[in-house]
Amino acid sequence: MHDVLLPLFQKFQGDVKFEAVIVVPYGAQSIPVEFLNYEELLERSGGEFQYPVIDENDGAAMCFTSGTTGFSQGVVYSHRSLVLHSMAEAMVDAFALSHHDTILPLAPMFHANAWGVPYTAVMTGTKMVLLGPVLEADFILDTIIREGITVANAVPTVWINVLEALEKNPRRWKFEKPIRVVSGGTAPPVELMRRLDRHGIRILHLWGMTETSPLATTGHLKSRMRGWSEEKQYEIRAKQGWPVPLIDIRVMRPDGEVSWDGLTPGEIEIRGPWVAREYYKAPDQAHKWSEDGWFRTGDVGTIDADGIMKVVDRAKDLVKSGGEWISSVDLENALMGHPAVKEACVVGIPHPKWQERPLAAVVLRDGSKATACELREFLSHDFAKWQLPDAIVFVEAIPRTSVGKFKKTELRERYANWEWEA
């Protein structure tokens, strides 16, 4: 623990004035002397602790961005913003949490406060089960059964492993009622949703960022969509959905806001009472906010006539090929619809003629086989020839960030000198 905590402390103490650093030991026998042990502090209090008088606009928590596009930036959440975020998150068209639920937050607490779940659970009286650092699929499923979990949250990569365990042992885990799963961080593949539905695990897609506390949109179906075909419903559920109450979203291009046609992409901008207005001690990042106060997310997306938002890609992850944009997210989700593919990650690799071309790193399911030609043929039904990956590599695992997202920067570095065929 000392090897992990001390470098983190030294990294930030130059920018942040710490009165003390309190560590929750998570079962460790001891912690470094530089830190205070949370459990020991509770024992010493003797029940005489008095909460200080604070203003609702004072800082209550701070999380740091993942830093995938540069240095990590601190985002301070006020008491007021956390309360409002929790109220929105508890609503029926968001997480729908109540004292009837038991939630399993699998998103780490350093990832935007576990997506705000600990605050919302306490506010609504929801029982919360903390699993710790063990995220093996079997352990997750055993916990769901043992604790009567009704809601869980995690990035799609966690649910990919859960699905694999369910399909290997179809009779081992049976749920009395469907499990509501909140998934974010990146778009869950439609095929993942479809196959988990068969096992009684229903994914609700959300979108947000550290800067949005993080809840911003959810992909619930509207009542009028209940009679739509199954395929049409999955198409809607795979999108990022509608803004939750009090959140406003627009899609912008240099010449202004784009029309709601579901086709014209631009940068997604957002505002609301729990959306950051600045980064902590980072005046050089003020350009991330527009002159009229909207946060520029760096995500590229569209909005259709129904007001449904779809994230096309992170601006940095779009493959820029011959003056055209290729969505890495769309290619990844399509590849993961192939029965032999477990995971797929697409990145743009420098090309001498086209600036960039897509390269796909693919992890196959245990016991499955597929060739690059077969996968390109599979994709050709939904993509133009110029959009197809020019290179498909088969790997044992795709590198991930600390919060479970695909680490595309590492793949770009690994294949930066790819030798393209003439």
**Residues annotated as catalytic (active site), given as ranges:** 65, 211, 320, 325
Neighbouring C-beta atoms of residue 236, cutoff 10 Å: 19
CA distance 268 to 291: 15
What Cα–Cα distance (Å) separates residue 380 from each residue in 67, 191, 192, 395, 412?
A: 34, 17, 20, 22, 24
Provide the 3-class DSSP secondary structure of residue 119: helix
Q: Dump the DSSP string for 23-51.
A: E--TT-S---TTSEEHHHHHHHHTT---P
* Token code pair at residue 29: 């026998």
Q: Which of 294, 27, 333 is nearest to 183 (CA)?
A: 333
Q: Are 328 and 339 in contact (CB under 8 A)?
A: no
Taken in order 147, 153, 158, 160, the sign of the CA dihedral is positive
- At a CB cut-off of 8 Å and minimum separation 6, what does 92 contact? none
What values do phi and psi take at 352, rounded to 5? -65, -25
In sign, the C-alpha dihedral spanning 81, 82, 83, 85 is positive
DSSP category for residue 241: B
Tokens matching residue 335:
């590849």
Distance, CA of 301 to CA of 309 (rounded, Å): 7
Strand partners, 257: 252
Helix (H) or strand (E) holding 394: strand 391-394
Q: Report whether 220 contacts 244 (CB < 8 A).
A: no
Q: What are phi and psi of 82, to 5 degrees?
A: -70, -35
266 CB burial (10 A radius; 0-12, 13-18, 19+): buried
Written as one letter, the residue type at 30 is S
Phi first, then psi: give them for residue 421, nearest 5 degrees. Answer: -70, 140
The CA distance from 178 to 200, in Å, is 5
